[in-house]
Amino acid sequence: MAQISKDMTIGEILATDRNIAPVLMSMGMHCLGCPASQGESLAEAAMVHGLDADLVEKAVNEFLANEG
């Protein structure tokens, strides 16, 4: 089972599973296609959007655990 960490970049996370994009977007991260976001860590992106990185990380890992 794949897992992500908040230290991974958005680009790395999306390369893990493109289906993560809707999860992040539902939490308010609508700039996933922005070139700058691809090099930001999940922790940095969460901070910019006023989100708790630990909660975002947990939500994505729960999604991955339940997928497929």
pLDDT digits (tens, 9 = 90+) for 27-62: 999 888 888 888 999 999 999 999 999 999 999 999
* The amino acid at 53: A
**68, pLDDT greater than 90:** no
Q: How far apart are CA 47 and CA 6, in angstroms?
A: 11
At 3-31, the pLDDT tens digits run 999 999 999 999 999 999 999 999 999 88
Give the number of other CB atoms < 10 A from CB of residue 9: 16
Q: What pTM did the predictor assign?
A: 0.90
Cβ 20 vs Cβ 29: under 8 Å: no
Q: Residue 64 — very low, low, confident or very high, per pLDDT cuts 50/70/90?
A: very high
41: phi then psi, degrees, rounded to nearest 5: -75, 160
Q: How far apart are CA 20 and CA 16, in angstroms?
A: 8
